[in-house]
Amino acid sequence: MRSYDDLDEFYTIIDTEADTSNNTIYVYAEDAGLDLLNDVYGEYTADKAYPISYYVEKYSKNSGFEIHINEITNLTRTLSWDTDSTASERLSIAASFGAEIGYSFEIDGLELKHRYINIYKRRGKDSGIVLRLNREIDKIVVKRSIANLATGYKVLGGTPKGADKP
């Protein structure tokens, strides 16, 4: 958990790597939106143009998340999905609105009071700093992980023996 600009954020640690020779610890964490990976939704086509809040609420329902900050209330889009996808993938619709999604929390002591989804026009800033390998950066280390390992599949489209259609 960390606090930044009056927002409390949670992260789930996915990987850690300790290097005793360099006295460094590397931590890779995903923001708390990781909780939205467990809900899978089927095909969907909107019947008209809706604001981003409609889609965020539709695909985050029953997750405990609610919209807190919404900087793009005036834009609408008619969106559709022709395959199954997770709630987290569906929330990537922010890009269709030219926006970005972030997560924050309201904490009282050690008690989680609220889970928030924040919709920003743009997060971060362009500092104008360029980093290049073998100039400002000495090396790049790549570590692989099984964090994206699928633990379940929904199988569709096979053709049974003796049948002509899947």
Dump pLDDT digits (tens) for 116-163: 899 999 877 778 888 887 888 887 776 767 666 666 667 777 788 888
Residues 29-75 have pLDDT tens digits of: 776 666 677 788 889 999 999 999 999 999 988 888 899 999 999 99
Q: How far is CA 33 from CA 51, 120, 128, 150, 158, in A?
A: 20, 15, 29, 17, 33
Q: Give the Cα separation of 77 and 50 in Å (integer).
A: 5
Please list, in sequence order, all residues whose beta carbon lies within 8 angstroms of the beta carbon of residue 136, skipping any fewer than 6 positions away. Answer: 130
Closest CA to 44 of 78, 76, 82: 82
Does the pTM of the predicted model rise above 0.75? no
